[in-house]
Structure 1
Amino acid sequence: MDSPSPHPAVLPAPGSPDAPGSPGSEKLPVSRRYAWTVFALAFALMLTDFVDRQIIVATFPLLKEEWGLSDTRLGALVSVVSVTVALGALPFALVADRWSRAKSIAVMGTVWSLAAMACAMVGNYAQLLAARAAIGLGEAGYGPAGGALMAGLFPQRLRATVVGALQAAGPLGVVLGVFLGGLMVPSLGWRTTLAVFAAPGLLLALLFLKVREGREVREGRTPVAGPAAAAAPADAAPIRTRGALAELFRSRTAVASYLGGAMQLVVLSTLYAWLPSYLTRTHDHTSAEAGAVSAAAVVASAVGTVVLGYAADRAGAARARRKLTLPAGLALLALVLLTSAFAWAPAGPVQLVLIVAGAFTVTAAVGPVPAVVMDVVDPELRATALGMVTLIQNLFGLAVGPLLTGWLSDTLGIAAALALMPLFCAGAAAALWTASRSYERELRTDADGATPQAAAL
Structure 2
Amino acid sequence: MLLQHAEPTTGDLSNARSDVPVYAWVVFTLTVGLLLSDYMSRQVLNAVFPMLKATWSLSDARLGSLSSIVALMVGLLTLPLSMLADRWGRVKSIALMAMMWSIATLACAVSASYGQMLLARAFVGIGEAAYGSVGVAVVLSIFPVRLRATLVAAFMAGGALGSVMGMAFGGAVAAHLGWRWAFGAMACFGIVLVVIYVLVVTEKRLAPFSIASGRQHACARERMRVGALLKRLVSTKSVACAYIGSGVHLFVPAALWAWMPSFLNRYYGMAVGSAAAGAAVLVLVTGIGMVVCGNLTDRFSKDAPGRKWNCAIVYCAISFTLLIVGLTVPHGPLQLVLIGGGMFFSAGATGPSGAMVANLTPPSICASAFATLTLVNNLLGLAPAALVTGVLADRIGLHGALCLVPFASLFALFVFAFGKCHYQQDLERVNALREQASA
Assess same fold via TM > 0.5: yes
The equivalent residue for 2:8 is none
CA displacement 1:126-164 (0-9 Å, x = unmatched): 110010010000000110101111111111121110111
| Alignment check: 8 A CA contact 2:14 2:144 kept | no
Change (3 A) 1:233 1:424: closer
Q: 1:9 aligns to what?
A: none
Alignment of 1:231-250 (within 5 A): 235=220, 237-250=222-235
Q: In structure 2, do the counterparts of structure 1 residues 255 and 229 end up closer, same or farther at CA, with 3 Å as the change threshold?
A: closer
Q: How does 1:243-322 map to 2 (within 5 A)?
A: 243-322=228-307
| Kept after mapping to 2: 8 A contact 1:280/1:287 | yes
Which residue type is aligned with residue 91 of structure 2?
A
Count of residue pairs brought into register by the alignment: 419
Runs (5+) with no aligned partner, structure 2: 1-12
CA RMSD of aligned residues (A): 2.5
Matches within 5 A, 1:6-21: none
Distance 1:373 1:216 in 2: 24
Partner in structure 1 of residue 426 of structure 2? 442
SS of the aligned residue for 2:34 comes to helix
- Give the SS at the match of 1:319: coil
Letter in 1 for 2:115: A
Preserved CA contact (<8 Å) 1:337 1:357: yes
Q: 1:26 aligns with which of 8, 11, 18?
A: 18
Structure 2 length-normalised TM: 0.90
Counterpart position of 2:4: none
- In the alignment, is the contact (CA less than 8 A) between 1:312 and 1:324 conserved in 2? no
Residue 305 of structure 1 aligns to a residue whose secondary structure is helix
What displacement does 1:424 show?
Answer: 0.6
Identity %: 37
Give 1:216 deviation, angstroms: 9.1
Counterpart pick for 1:341 among 302, 326, 343: 326
Q: Partner letter of residue 288 of structure 1?
A: G
Q: Distance in 1 between matches of 2:114 and 2:18?
A: 51
- Contact residue 174 and residue 298 of structure 1 kept, 8 A: yes
Describe the shift of the 1:235–1:147 C-alpha distance in structure 2 as closer, same or farther (beyond 3 A).
closer
**Correspondence for 1:423:** 407
Q: Which moved more, 1:302-311 or 1:193-202?
A: 193-202
Question: TM (normalized to structure 1)?
Answer: 0.86
Change (3 A) 1:152 1:21: closer
**Given residue 179 of structure 1, which amino acid in structure 2 is its aligned partner?**
A
Note the 1:137-216 alignment, pairs <5 A. 137-209=126-198, 210-213=200-203
The code of the aligned residue for 2:368 comes to T
2:369 corresponds to 1:385: yes
8 Å contact kept, 1:87–1:391 = yes
Q: Deviation of residue 365 (structure 1)?
A: 1.2
One-letter identity of the residue aligned with 1:26: S
**Matched AA of 2:362:** D
Asked if 1:56 corresponds to 2:40, the answer is no
Q: Which has the higher helix share?
A: 2
Q: Could you say what secondary structure the match of 2:27 adopts?
A: helix
- Secondary structure class of the residue paired with 1:238: strand
Q: Is the 8 A contact 1:257 1:432 kept in 2?
A: yes
**Alpha-carbon contact 2:393-2:399 (below 8 Å) kept:** yes
Task: Give the secondary-structure state (helix, strand or coil) at the position aligned to 1:399.
Answer: helix
In 2 relative to 1, CA 137–35 (structure 1 residues): closer, same or farther, beyond 3 Å?
A: same
- 1:47 and 2:36 aligned: yes
- What is the DSSP-based 3-state SS (H/G/I as helix, E as strand, rest coil) of the residue aligned with 1:153? coil
3-state DSSP of counterpart to 1:173:
helix
In the TM superposition, what is the alpha-carbon distance from 1:203 to its structure 2 partner?
2.8
**Alignment partners' CA distance in 2, 1:288 and 1:233:** 47
Aligned amino acid, residue 211 of structure 1: V
Secondary structure in structure 2 of the residue aligned to 1:64: helix
1:319–1:200 Cα change, 3 Å: same
Q: How far apart, CA to CA, are the structure 1 residues paired with 2:170 and 2:150?
A: 30
- What is the match of residue 332 of structure 1? 317
Change (3 A) 1:266 1:234: closer
> For each residue in 1:145-190, what CA deviation from the matched residue of structure 2 results, as whole angstroms up to 9, or x when unmatched?
0111111111112111011111111111111111122222122111
Q: 1:326 to 1:217 in 2, by over 3 A?
A: farther
Match of 2:5? none
Tell me the amino acid that sits aligned with residue 155 of structure 2: L
Q: Which runs of 5+ in 1 are unaligned?
A: 1-19, 450-457
* 1: CA distance, partners of 2:220 / 2:50: 55
